Structure 1
């Protein structure tokens, strides 16, 4: 159904949307969409940085450590 729209149909839809909502409303809507895309990209990059940091922290905590108690004066007797 949508395969038959073509360029004249898209232009007609654009004109109808412009008449219904007005230029100001559409430009503010597009500004909000742009801010949303920017916030999404920032969140994705911050999330990947957080994942890298978490992976390094897990690797540091899972390293083998010597936890044997130190010999005290009582143990040496």
Structure 2
């Protein structure tokens, strides 16, 4: 029903070129391309940051467990030394 034929698309393209000019259309295309590139870069950086945050949280948990087990071992040896004395 509302399909656009190729002839209608060409007419619309000609009208747009006449209204804006080729230089302005080139500039708009470059701006749009730069915006898309920046958006993609930001999205990929965001994904990398999430992975880094997840790795940091995992490492932090491992370090906390290691510190707790070391503290427990020190407390056990101190209590064993007190028992022997």
| TM over 0.5, shorter chain | yes
Q: Name the structure 2 match of 1:65.
A: 66
The structure with the greater share of residues assigned to helix is 2
Q: Name the structure 1 match of 2:15.
A: 16
List gaps (5 residues or longer) in structure 1.
none
Listed one character per residue, the Cα deviations across residues 27-77 of structure 1 (whole Å, up to 9, x for unaligned) are: 0000001101111111111111111100000111123234438568xxx58
The total of aligned residue pairs comes to 74
Q: Which whole-Å CA distance do the structure 2 matches of 1:39 and 1:66 have between them? A: 42
Whose radius of gyration is greater, 1 or 2?
2
Could you list the structure 1 runs, at least 4 aligned residues long, displaced by more than 6 angstroms after superposition.
none
List gaps (5 residues or longer) in structure 2.
none
Instruction: Please tell me whether residue 44 in structure 1 is matched to residue 43 in structure 2.
Output: yes
What do you get for the CA RMSD once the two structures are aligned?
Answer: 2.2
